[in-house]
């Protein structure tokens, strides 16, 4: 496979790889490093790339595994799960502050979710993957994906309601 063919395959989803890595790793730099490592591994497998049914799903699975390995490693002492890709350019300052606060609370709530629920919520609600794709990436049955997503959404909703009804804490 030529370099240009590889780029044609990888370019459409490389931003998704970065966003997933950003979701799992604390800093932009860590996410960039992880994305670069995954792309290098994909390039090293470029001869097999055309044999994969879904190169994007394969790359997302590689990214997930790389990031989780990184989190488990000794170098990960200061890494934590974070997410921040929300922007709204057409609202007032008050609305922007409220939106940032809500996103911040959702981030905090997501940090407390079990790993599987966190991943399913990220892939479905942020990255907009279909259930079957998530099922393949996370090696789960589609019904298990739906259950994990339902539980994650319910927990986020309950915690947000608690926050809004009772204030901070």
> What are 48's two structure tokens?
């097999």
CA 42 to chain centre: 19
Q: What is the spatial distance between Cα 41 and Cα 54, in angstroms, rounded to a whole number?
A: 16
Choose the CATH number for 91-169 among 1.10.10.10, 3.30.360.10, 1.10.3720.10, 1.20.950.20. Answer: 1.10.10.10
The structure tokens 């409220």 sit at 98
The pLDDT value given to residue 1 = 64
Question: Tens of pLDDT along 104-143?
Answer: 777 788 888 898 998 898 888 888 889 999 999 899 999 9
pLDDT digits (tens, 9 = 90+) for 41-81: 988 887 777 777 888 888 899 998 888 888 777 454 544 44
Q: Which two tokens stand for residue 12?
A: 């459409």
| CATH 1.10.150.20, domain 1-80, yes or no | no
CA angle 28, 29, 30 (to 5 degrees): 90
Spans of all domains in the chain? 1-80, 91-169
Q: What is the pTM of this model?
A: 0.51
- Mean per-residue pLDDT, 11-17: 89
């Amino acid at each position: 496979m030529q370099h240009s063919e590889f780029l044609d395959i990888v370019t459409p989803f490389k931003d998704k790889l970065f966003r997933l890595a950003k979701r799992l790793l604390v800093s932009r730099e860590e996410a960039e490093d992880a994305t670069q490592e995954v792309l290098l591994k994909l390039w090293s497998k470029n001869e097999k790339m055309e044999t994969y049914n879904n190169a994007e799903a394969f790359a997302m699975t590689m990214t997930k595994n790389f990031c989780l390995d990184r989190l488990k490693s000794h170098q990960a002492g200061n890494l934590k799960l974070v997410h921040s890709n929300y922007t709204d350019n057409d609202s007032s300052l008050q609305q922007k502050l409220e939106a940032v606060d809500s996103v911040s609370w959702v981030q905090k709530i997501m940090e407390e979710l079990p790993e599987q629920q966190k991943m399913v919520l990220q892939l479905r609600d942020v990255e907009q993957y279909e259930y079957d794709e998530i099922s393949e990436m996370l090696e789960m049955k589609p019904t298990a994906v739906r259950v994990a997503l339902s539980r994650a959404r319910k927990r986020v909703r309950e915690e947000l309601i608690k926050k809004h009804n009772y204030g901070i804490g």
